[in-house]
Structure 1
Amino acid sequence: MKKSITIIITFLFFTFSFAQNNFGNPEVDPIHIQKTYTDWSAYQSKNIMLSRDFVALDPNSKEISKESFLNLLANRNYIPIRLKSEDSTYYYKLFLIQQNSDTSIKATINQIGFDAHKNFEMEGTQFPKFSFKDLNGNLVSNESMKGKIIVIKCWYIHCTPCIKEFPQVNKLADEYKDRKDILFISLAEDAREKLKVFLAKRPLAYSVIPNMKVYMNESLQLNSFPTHFILNKEGIIAKVLPNFESLEVALEKESKL
Structure 2
Amino acid sequence: MQKAINIIIAFLIFTSGFAQSNHETPEVDPIQIQKNFADWSAYQSKSIMLSRDFTALDSNSKEISKESFLDQLANGNFIPIRLKSEDSKYYYKLFEIQPNSDTSIKATINQIGFDAHKNFEMEGTAFPKFSFKDLNGNLVTNESIKGKIIVIKCWYIHCTPCIREFPQVNKLADEYKDRKDILFISLAEDSPEQLKTFLAKRPLKYSVIPSMKVYMNEALQLNSFPTHFILNKEGMIAKVLPNFESLEVALAKESILQSN
- How many Å apart are 1:194 and its aligned residue? 0.4
SS at match of 2:151: strand
Amino acid aligned to 1:44: Q
Aligned twin of 2:25: 25
Distance in 1, Cα, partners of 2:21 & 2:236: 33
Q: How does 1:162-173 map to 2 (within 5 A)?
A: 162-173=162-173
2:113 matches 1:107: no
Which runs of 5 or more structure 1 residues have no equivalent in the other structure? none
* 234-243 vs 80-89, greater mean Cα deviation: 80-89
- Aligned partner of 1:137: which letter? G
1-structure distance, mates of 2:8, 2:35 = 42
Mapping of residues 66-145 of structure 1, within 5 Å: 66-145=66-145
Q: Name the residue aligned to 2:59.
A: 59
Mapped pair 1:37 → 2:27: no
Quote the Cα distance in structure 2 between the aligned partners of 1:63 and 1:165: 34
* One-letter amino acid matched to 2:57: L
Alignment partners' CA distance in 2, 1:214 and 1:21: 49
d(CA) in 1 for partners of 2:252 and 2:13?
39
Shift of 1:166: 0.2
1:44 & 1:10 partners in 2: Cα distance?
40
Task: Give TM-score scaled by structure 2 length.
Answer: 0.94
1:160, 1:31 → 2: CA distance? 31
Q: For structure 1, which segment, 75-84 or 11-20, has the greater mean C-alpha deviation from structure 2 after superposition? A: 11-20
How far, CA to CA, are the matches of 1:82 and 1:6 in structure 2?
Answer: 36
Distance in 2, matches of 1:44 and 1:7, equals 44
Deviation at 1:16, TM superposition (A): 1.7
Give the count of matched residue pairs: 254
Root-mean-square deviation (CA, aligned residues, Å) is: 1.7
Query: Identity of counterpart residues, as a percentage?
Result: 85
